[in-house]
A and B are shown apart, each in its own frame.
Chain A
Amino acid sequence: MQDSASPLSFQQLILTLHDYWAAQGCVILQPFDMRVGAGTFHPATTLRSLGPNPWNCAYVQPSRRPTDGRYGENPNRLQHYYQYQVIMKPSPPDLQDLYLGSLKAIGIDPLLHDIRFVEDDWESPTLGAWGLGWEVWCDGMEVTQFTYFQQMGGFDCKPVAGELTYGLERLAMYIQGVDSVYDLVFNEAVGNRPAVTYGDVFLENERQMSKWNFEVADTDKLFRWFKDCETECAASIAAGVPLAAYEQAIEASHVFNLLQARGVISVQERASYMGRVRDLAKGSCEAWMAYNGWAE
């Protein structure tokens, strides 16, 4: 689709969203420096959605889903990709309009493309969190998850935060009209400095990391790391540093995903591991609530 003269490159897409949300009063954060499965894991969403203080921010979060790796051979599936995350607390009354404004900003004309809010409630058992909202469709494609958080870490959100999660690669593929993620234009050429594609940047990474996730990662070490995360999380809670405890919960969650990719967790064990990750995340949230004096 080519609505404007030349569609946004991948990096222009991100910069445009940054400009747009900064103008709405959002803090523009940089990605969290740990391996996470989704932008929601960033403490700027998870922990900041707890408690009474207003909080408005936007950031890109690299997200890792080891089981989605396809060795760079599938045009749509990646084990590492980007989410664009906006969190606004309390949820503003015109959040839908603000969101639609962001689509216009990146070149999607709502009188040319069919934008729809289709029911999709969100739940993250590992974070003890849920909310109501939609997946936003653009011409039948899901481009954003739109959620009003109701609970996080087992606690009622007071007040409720609105969360927007854009799938950046998907959105960019749509805007640029390409069929493979690796063909995305990452930036524009300037002078004799050439443009690069998403494939130039990430294809080799997908190949090697898929191989590591599925074949190489040492499962004995992974099991050990998981246990280490559990003890370190507990120790951090005991020492009164819930932010550090939460980092261990995040790490445990990723190690669990790696163990899944290695296929060493049986169906029966799976539920038990998910329960253990949830305990770490909820425990950290509880400690964070208590630390701030918000727990009832």
Chain B
Amino acid sequence: MTDFLLELRCEEIPARMQAKASEDLARLFTEKLAEAGLTPGALTSYVTPRRLALIAHDLPLATQAVSEEFKGPRTSAPPQALEGFLRKTGLTQDQLEDRDGVWFATVEKPGRATADVLAEAIPAIVRAFPWPKSMRWGDASLSTESLRWVRPLQGIIALLGNEVVPFAIEDVIADRVTAGHRFHFDGRISVESAKTYAAQLRAAHVIVDQDERKAIIETRANALAAEAGLELIPDAGLIAENAGLTEWPVPLLGRFDPAFLEVPPEVIQLTLRINQKYFVLREANDSEAGALANAFICTANIEAKDGGRAIVEGNGKVLAARLSDARFFWEQDKKTKLEDHAKKLSRITFHEKLGTVADKVERVAKLARWLVESDIVTPAKAGVSSEGSAPSPEMPAFAGMTKEELADLAEQAARLAKADLVTEMVGEFPELQGLMGGYYARAEGLPDAVADAIRDHYKPVGQGDEVPTAPVTVAVSLADKLDTLMCFFAIGEKPTGSKDPFALRRAALSVIRLVLQNGLRFSLDDTLEAMTDVIAARRSDDGEEQHRRDILDGVLLSEIATGDAGLVWFFVERLKVQQREAGVRHDLIDAVFALGGEDDLCRVLARVKALQSFVTTEDGTNLLAGYKRAANILKKERPETGTQSDAGEEDPGEALTDPDVAEAIRVHDALPPAYTLEPAEAALIAALDAAEPRADAAVVAEDFEGAMAALAGLRAPIDAFFTAVTVNDPDPAKRDSRLNLLTRIRAAVHKVADFSRIEG
């Protein structure tokens, strides 16, 4: 057993690629060795801007000898078959074994020296390394087939124990020699072994362990902040990036002119962090706690001779120039009102088939107003969560607001929400969209609710992002996303597989979260349909406008919402994905949707949650078993009505004309049977008579636990019925009557969900 050290040294590897490259190297190394039958004890991976390194601990010095058995042709097969088999195995006929008329060959593979395996494996890994972008260089690049690497590859260390594993990749020859820090160390380092590698490089001012460099940056930056009476704003990504730009990280603290602090703090943060990779600090003392401080921390790669004074001074100058630009943008942008900025949106194409951003704004403004006027977003309702979280503290601001006032604010906010896209600041920092609009809105004295809505209308962006609850914001955000979804569906730009160029999945997920968090109650189907009318009603009727209108209203009604792979389906799929993390079963969501006519997301989820707790109880499990037994018998005996399980592929809106439901209504209203009922049969009828109205009432009251409880009462009578009564009685009247009873069971259960969709 011995250790193996690999170092691939090259010119500076982009910081953002280092972590993945380090993982890839470990993975490919493990795979290649496994192919040869070698398993190292443990792997240690290091990465710096100039080297990818890996130590494989406790490698055996040779692979195990293995013997492999191959089955050949029958002994009676023509000679050509045997010859082929001998060629393949490299054996002669006398080495084969005749086992019951079939040739068998045993091929012995001797063990190989690990050094040989490595000398083959490493070049293969290097040549096929999955860099996101790679390049050619130097004399060898006369051919386009020359070695590719992320930047020129300069040297390789390959040491098994104390010995160099001999190989070469083009003109780079494996060796034990490497370079130290670019400026702190002259000459070459001859590495003894894996055990001494990290220490020898440390002596040459290189910390090979990325985690150690991160820890140094974090600890030292926090200490610098504390010494200055400030607090570091935590930023793990920036720590990693600086660790990826340095081999010997030295954080240094500098100051900038406090006059720049009049610029919004987010702008200063981005300037520091994105443009300069500096850490941002805030005041730590009580009076100003939390406010951005006029300080920065940069991370140098050297222990400067003057303690870093010149570096801090230089960085401070660069930062001042950047902040001057930012302040210039801030002042310039404020000179124009948002409504005037918004006029320039007609110059920006939203999508070639969907017009300009100004067109989109017009649609969103109408939709936002409509969402309020249709009582989907109300002054009272937004902020009241169906998920049980506390109402937002912002709510009092909207108490007493009329529907008309809310509609006006929503429309106003929607008309201004995209205006900041044409400002200088957002041109410079696109990630500040929305936020800058909010600042500019406040600066020109627009109502807070409008400024907040402009600021937050992109939210929620990702899974962890907070969901808006202020009614104006909810209306604009929802309108924006629904417009995007409907328009892209209308022109056939639906996500496929891994392709979702317009981020429609994320938009749908955001809609779901807005709806659930705010307890917004509406039928998706009806709403989408009504909204197409709102969108389609255009202002003018000139040729081009007319064309777009055709795109939108012609297709939308029939296909966009409810057709195959329509928007309602899309929302259901997103809901399943979203709820999976919360532990909600996707089959139960299907079971509720399959009922048809149920497309109120809040109510769907309430049903599903009640269903999920029910089906895990003993009553639930047994009722499901009883249901499935009834459904199976019906499927066999009355196939013409057993179509419920396919309902999902039909239009859920047609549920009321479903033959199954119609059948259930018919049998329920049928005359009582003319024969003497078995006791279990009579008991089941009585139980159904009692349970059905209770379940109905509970569903109407949206008390789904109550509905489940009513159904739970059926479990014992159903079990007893199947134990004591024969459905397929020779007497056709009895058989028919009992099948009717099974239909009633199925219909009763379908009041809460289509149990045939439930797995298990």
Contacts and interface: CB of A to CB of B under 8 A. Distances in A.
11 contacts: A90-B138, A96-B11, A112-B305, A114-B314, A118-B12, A119-B14, A140-B314, A148-B152, A157-B136, A162-B137, A267-B347
A157 B315 CA distance: 36
Contacts, number: 122
A29 to B, nearest CB: 23
A90 B311 contact: no
B143 interface: yes
Contact of A139 (B139, B142, B151, B318): B318
B540 interface: no
Contacts of B348: 267
A151 B16 CA distance: 24
B148 to A, nearest CB: 10
A160 interface: yes
A140 B135 contact: no
Which of A52, A112, A140, A174 gathers the greatest number of chain B CB atoms within 10 Å? A140
Contacts of B138: 90-93, 159-160
A158 interface: yes
Interface stretch (B296-304, B619-627, B712-720): B296-304
A110 B298 CA distance: 16
A121 B133 contact: yes
Contacts of A150: 135-136
Interface of A: 1, 52, 76, 90-93, 96, 100, 109-119, 121, 131-134, 138-141, 148, 150, 156-160, 162, 174, 179, 266-268
B662 interface: no
Given A93-B152, A140-B315, A148-B151, 7 more contacts: A90-B138, A90-B139, A119-B14, A132-B151, A139-B313, A158-B143, A160-B137
B344 to A, nearest CB: 11
Contact of B318 (A113, A141, A159): A141
B133 to A, nearest CB: 6
B402 interface: no
B325 to A, nearest CB: 9
A1 B133 CA distance: 37
Given A139-B315, A174-B314, A116 B137 contact: no
A7 B134 CA distance: 39
Interface string B8-42: 00011011100000000000000000000000000
A138 B245 CA distance: 13
Interface string B515-555: 00000000000000000000000000000000000000000
A118 B275 CA distance: 11
Interface of B: 11-12, 14-16, 49, 133-144, 150-152, 154, 182-184, 245-246, 276, 278, 298, 300-302, 304-306, 310-311, 313-315, 317-319, 321, 347-349
Contacts of B142: 52, 90, 158-159
A262 B216 CA distance: 52
B154 A93 contact: yes
Nearest to B134: A132
Nearest to B245: A116
A150 B140 CA distance: 13
A111 B183 contact: yes
Contact of B137 (A91, A118, A138, A174): A91
A117 B12 contact: yes
Contacts of A52: 142
Nearest to B49: A117
Which of A91, A113, A114, A148 gathers the greatest number of chain B CB atoms within 10 Å? A114
Contacts of A117: 11-12, 49
Nearest to A140: B315
A161 to B, nearest CB: 9
Contacts of B304: 111-114
A291 B305 CA distance: 55
B302 A111 contact: yes
A292 to B, nearest CB: 15
Nearest to B17: A119
Given A113-B314, A119-B14, A150-B135, A90 B141 contact: yes
B312 to A, nearest CB: 8
Nearest to B314: A139
A174 B154 CA distance: 32
B311 A113 contact: yes
Nearest to A162: B137
Contact of B314 (A119, A134, A138): A138
B16 A139 contact: no
B141 A157 contact: yes
A132 B300 CA distance: 24
Nearest to B14: A119
A91 B151 CA distance: 12
Contacts of A118: 12, 15, 245
Contacts of B278: 140
A48 to B, nearest CB: 15
A118 B319 CA distance: 17
A112 B300 contact: no
B301 to A, nearest CB: 6
A119 to B, nearest CB: 3
A173 to B, nearest CB: 9
B245 A113 contact: no
A140 B245 contact: no
B476 to A, nearest CB: 26
Contacts of A111: 183-184, 302, 304-305
Nearest to B276: A140
Given A90-B142, A93-B154, A158-B143, A114 B135 contact: no
Top 10 A-B pairs, shortest CB-CB distance: A139-B314, A119-B14, A117-B12, A140-B315, A160-B141, A159-B141, A114-B300, A110-B183, A132-B135, A141-B318
Nearest to B320: A179
Contacts of A267: 347-349
A134 B318 contact: no
Contacts of B276: 140
Which of B183, B184, B319 gathers the greatest number of chain A CB atoms within 10 Å? B183
Which of B137, B140, B142, B154 gathers the greatest number of chain A CB atoms within 10 Å? B137
Which of A93, A160, A268 gathers the greatest number of chain B CB atoms within 10 Å? A160
Contact of B310 (A113, A133, A141, A159): A113
A96 B142 CA distance: 20
B540 to A, nearest CB: 21
A267 B138 CA distance: 40
A114 B311 contact: yes
B144 A158 contact: yes
Contacts of B184: 111
A1 B310 contact: yes
B318 A119 contact: no
Nearest to B139: A90
Given A110-B302, A115-B183, A141-B318, A160 B135 contact: yes
B314 A1 contact: yes
Contacts of A91: 137-138, 141, 152
Contacts of A158: 141-144
Contacts of B150: 132
